[in-house]
Amino acid sequence: MIDGKLAVAIVGCGGMGGGHAIAIASGTGNAVWNTNAVTGTAFEGKMNSDISKKLTLAGVYDIDPARQKWAADRGMYNYESYEAILADDRVDIVLIATPNHLHRDEAIAAMRAGKHVLCEKPVTPTSRELVEILQVSRETGKVFYPRQNRRWDKDFLIIKKIYDENMLGKVFHIESRVHGSRGIPGDWRGKKEYGGGMMLDWGVHLLDRLLIMIPEKVKKVFCTLTHVTNDEVDDGFKMHMTFESGLTAYVEVGTCHFISLPLWYMTGDHGSAVIHDWSCRGEIARLKSWEDKDATPILAGAGLTKTMAPRGENSIETLPLPDVDFDRNELYSNLVDTINGTAKQIVTGEEALRVLKLMEAAFESAAKGVVVDFE
Ligand SMILES: NC(=O)c1ccc[n+]([C@@H]2O[C@H](COP(=O)([O-])OP(=O)(O)OC[C@H]3O[C@@H](n4cnc5c(N)ncnc54)[C@H](O)[C@@H]3O)[C@@H](O)[C@H]2O)c1
């Protein structure tokens, strides 16, 4: 503890670790998450939890001297090694923000040294490594907290609300997608040995969110990986899932798409919803009546169709997407409350393990070209 607050030390002070460092050290608890440095636009969501009252930054360690300097220039304490973090009795939480292949050893060492762990996603490249971590978490009684922060993305919270409140009737298909056009970033993410690839990078977010939204078993998985810009690891994937009720989901990550398809498409027996982008442009089309007696054939390409003729206002209504109210700092805050034993852990290791196993089923499907049974 430092000044009565839980003290965080960060290992890996690159893009993400640097963001965490500013967020915690700034005393506002959230400065870097508050404003997008590039566009200057604010992130969505309120900051209901004032984490500056709960957390403080003890310091950072990065093997790259340039990143150590970056932190020192901002008044942050530089640890000289990871071992020095582990030896510092004031440190309560180790925040792991190194490349993915390092997470297991760092997490296990931290818990064995008496620290709780907040670990960036994917918490490990394989489920086997996470099983080892969770075993040590149980043995030591230390909290292991996967940082699945995209559960607090506004687009996800909107689509989840539409799903939870049955706004579309019985939902039978969901599509979750992210498209970019720049390939894999030119760092460790392009290399297998570091736990690279887009399944591990973005798939882990999209699948985590689907699994917490749909409270069902996943029965079947079929996946193809793309290698448009990188042979070594996937630069995207297309994944079909069938849930126990028959509901289907399609998840896609693409890094060579110069026009982006919508982030979300969800359809049920009484309506459909679309969310186009992170600014959450979109709409709901909801059925007023199945009857549409005036439907007349339309000219569609070289032929006529009645089946695909759009509905009129008499049978369909267009609604705006619902508003959502959420606390952007809830993950940090819940970490502290979990450690203090005053709240249930929102993102659990078991949930992260299920997602890793689902990704492994997807890799198996892609390697063999078959549908894989899952749960
Ligand atoms: N939750 C999210 O939205 C999100 C977004 C981006 C990245 N991440 C995750 O954060 C982690 C880091 O990603 P990043 O984008 O910040 O990468 P990065 O390359 O920008 O930063 C990684 C840092 O770790 C340092 N490092 C490497 N080996 C080290 C070691 N042995 N000891 C100490 N430092 C070491 C590197 O020098 C670098 O500064 C990854 O697990 C990534 O998946 C999460």
* CA–CA distance, 144 with 130 (Å, rounded to integer): 10
Is the predicted pLDDT of residue 261 greater than 80, yes or no?
yes
Is the predicted pLDDT of residue 313 greater than 90, yes or no?
no
Nearest to 62 by CA among 90, 26, 20, 112: 20
Is the predicted pLDDT of residue 288 greater than 60, yes or no?
yes
3-state SS assignment for residue 40 = coil
Does the Cβ of 184 fall within 6 Å of ligand 1?
A: no
Q: Going by CA atoms, what residue is nearest to atom 33 of ligand 1? A: 62
* 31 burial level (CB within 10 Å; 0-12, 13-18, 19+): middle
Does the Cβ of 61 fall within 6 Å of ligand 1?
A: yes
Å from CA of 89 to ligand 1 middle: 24
For the segment 218-238, what is each residue's pLDDT rounded down to a tens digit?
Answer: 999 999 999 999 999 999 999
pTM (whole model) above 0.85: yes
Does the Cβ of 101 fall within 6 Å of ligand 1?
A: no
Q: Which residues pair with 287 in a beta bridge?
A: 316
Mean pLDDT of 301-315: 90
**E-strand stretches of the chain:** 6-11, 55-61, 93-96, 116-120, 144-147, 171-179, 218-226, 236-243, 248-254, 264-268, 271-275, 282-287, 298-300, 303-305, 316-319, 372-373
Task: Give Cβ neighbours of residue 237 (< 8 Å, ≥ 6 apart).
Answer: 198, 199, 203, 223, 224, 225, 226, 251, 252, 253, 362, 366
Q: Going by CA atoms, what residue is nearest to atom 9 of ligand 1? A: 120
The answer to whether 118 touches 145, Cβ cutoff 8 Å, is yes
Q: Which of 62, 76, 104 to mutate to test the pocket of ligand 1 (most atoms within 8 A of CB)?
A: 62
Is the predicted pLDDT of residue 40 greater than 50, yes or no?
no
For the segment 326-367, what is each residue's pLDDT rounded down to a tens digit?
Answer: 888 889 999 999 999 999 999 999 999 999 999 999 999 999
Å from CA of 102 to ligand 1 middle: 10
The answer to whether 62 touches 68, Cβ cutoff 8 Å, is yes
Q: What is the chain's mean pLDDT, rounded?
A: 93
Q: Which of 79, 120, 129 to mutate to test the pocket of ligand 1 (most atoms within 8 A of CB)?
A: 120
* CA–CA distance, 56 with 96 (Å, rounded to integer): 16
| pLDDT band per the 50, 70, 90 thresholds, residue 47 | low
Angle at 277 between CA 274 and CA 281, to 5 degrees: 60
Is the predicted pLDDT of residue 32 greater than 50, yes or no?
no
Angle between the N-to-C axes of helices 15-25 and 65-73, in degrees from 0 to 180, rounded to the nearest 10: 20
Q: Which of 82, 98, 124, 355 to mutate to test the pocket of ligand 1 (most atoms within 8 A of CB)?
A: 98
Does the Cβ of 13 fall within 6 Å of ligand 1?
A: yes
Is the predicted pLDDT of residue 189 greater than 90, yes or no?
yes
Q: Tell me how far the alpha carbon of residue 161 is from its chain's centroid.
A: 17
Q: What pLDDT score does 292 carry? A: 72
Domains along the sequence of the chain with CATH: 6-149+327-347 (3.40.50.720), 152-325+358-373 (3.30.360.10)
Does the Cβ of 200 fall within 6 Å of ligand 1?
A: no
* CA–CA distance, 7 with 74 (Å, rounded to integer): 18
Q: What pLDDT score does 45 carry? A: 58
Q: Going by CA atoms, what residue is nearest to atom 39 of ligand 1? A: 14
Q: Are strands 55-61 and 93-96 parallel, antiparallel or unpaired?
A: unpaired
Write the DSSP assignment of 126-179 as a string of letters. SHHHHHHHHHHHHHHT--EEEE-GGGG-HHHHHHHHHHHTTTTSSEEEEEEEEE
* CA–CA distance, 196 with 185 (Å, rounded to integer): 10
3-state SS assignment for residue 33 = helix
Q: Which residues pair with 86 in a beta bridge?
A: none
- What are the Cα distances from residue 275, in Å, to 32, 158, 281, 322? 26, 9, 6, 11
Q: How many CA atoms lie within 13 A of 284 on its CB side?
A: 21
Write the DSSP assignment of 182-198 as a string of letters. S-S-SSGGG-GGGT-SH
Q: Going by CA atoms, what residue is nearest to atom 5 of ligand 1? A: 16
